[in-house]
Chains A and B, each alone.
Chain A
Amino acid sequence: MPSAFTLLRAWGLMMALTGLSLWAAISDQSIASTLAAMGAGVLKAVLILWAYLNLRRSPSGWKAVFGVFLIAIALIVLGAFWVGKIVK
């Protein structure tokens, strides 16, 4: 089980990431803020898996499954965003 400190650190990081992506989104609408928002989302997802669910210790197969899932989502979302920009 992860120590309370590990959990707290993950929590703090995720709160900060949430604030950051919110600030980036509100302050401008550039590609950078999009990348920040999606990047922060994926990073938070990784932290939930890594610390909250303690999957650090799980076999590499599972890490691959979740990794592929998150990467696929990020690629689809950002890919669609990018296509949307080009078409426009």
Chain B
Amino acid sequence: MSDDTENWGALSELPGNPLMWVLILSELMVFGAFFAAFSVSRVLHPAMFLADQVRLDRLVGGVNTMLLLTSGLAAALAVNARGMGDIRRCRLWLGGAALLGLGFLGVKLAEYSDKAAQGFGIETDTFWTLFYLMTGFHAAHVVLGLVIMAIVVWKPSLENVETCVSFWHMVDLIWVLLYPIVYLIR
């Protein structure tokens, strides 16, 4: 595959590998569709959504939001460090971002097992189906982001770092929208 990030038309204007942006934009479409699906389903089943949504712990969601935002800060600082040629600091920041990402996953797992223990599974009803699908897809992207990060820590070229961090920021961006839609708005 060609390494250059030039001559991709509009895609060249974005930080990192243009093909990553094809993925990112596709992800935005998918999550956008899920957000719409969730909102419409709530209109169709107001009682179900109200009854189920109160089971979610808003504070847990808030803590996870803060973990991801802080992780995003570390990732952005990693790009800065790499831009200044400081590979060691870049790796450290990436490591920090990854640790916070792991923290997010830990909280998420605790949340899932708590819900499962209460008997709420992916097939319980439409609300829980969408809850598990949306947060599950998102968590899968956190995992993928961590894998990419591990690769980039190993091979930290500027393009690689930018590509990885762009993906990571998109994972943040999806979460900051998902959080109010699924957890807060009732």
Chain A residues with a Cβ under 8 A of chain B: 1-2, 4, 7-8, 10-11, 14-15, 18-19, 21-22, 25-26, 29, 33-34, 37-38, 40-42, 44-45, 48-49, 51-55, 58-59, 61-62, 69, 72-73, 76-77, 79-81, 83-84, 87-88
Contacts and interface: CB of A to CB of B under 8 A. Distances in A.
Interface of B: 10, 13-15, 28, 32, 35-36, 39-40, 42-43, 46, 58-59, 62, 65-66, 69-70, 72-73, 75-77, 79-80, 83, 166, 169, 172-173, 176-177, 179-181, 183-186
Name the 3 nearest CB pairs between A and B, nearest first: A80-B39, A37-B180, A37-B184
Contacts of A34: 184-186
Contact of A69 (B28, B77, B172): B28
B59 A22 contact: yes
B175 to A, nearest CB: 9
Interface of B is mostly: helix
B58 A53 contact: no
Contacts of B62: 18-19, 22
A40 B61 CA distance: 14
Contacts of A18: 62, 65-66, 69, 179
Nearest to A17: B176
Nearest to A33: B184
B180 A21 contact: yes
Contact of B186 (A2, A29, A40, A76): A29
Nearest to A10: B73
B169 A84 contact: no
30 contacts: A1-B83, A4-B77, A7-B73, A7-B76, A11-B69, A18-B66, A19-B62, A21-B180, A25-B184, A29-B186, A34-B184, A37-B184, A40-B180, A41-B181, A44-B176, A45-B176, A48-B72, A48-B169, A51-B76, A53-B166, A54-B15, A59-B10, A69-B28, A69-B32, A73-B32, A73-B35, A73-B177, A77-B181, A77-B185, A84-B46
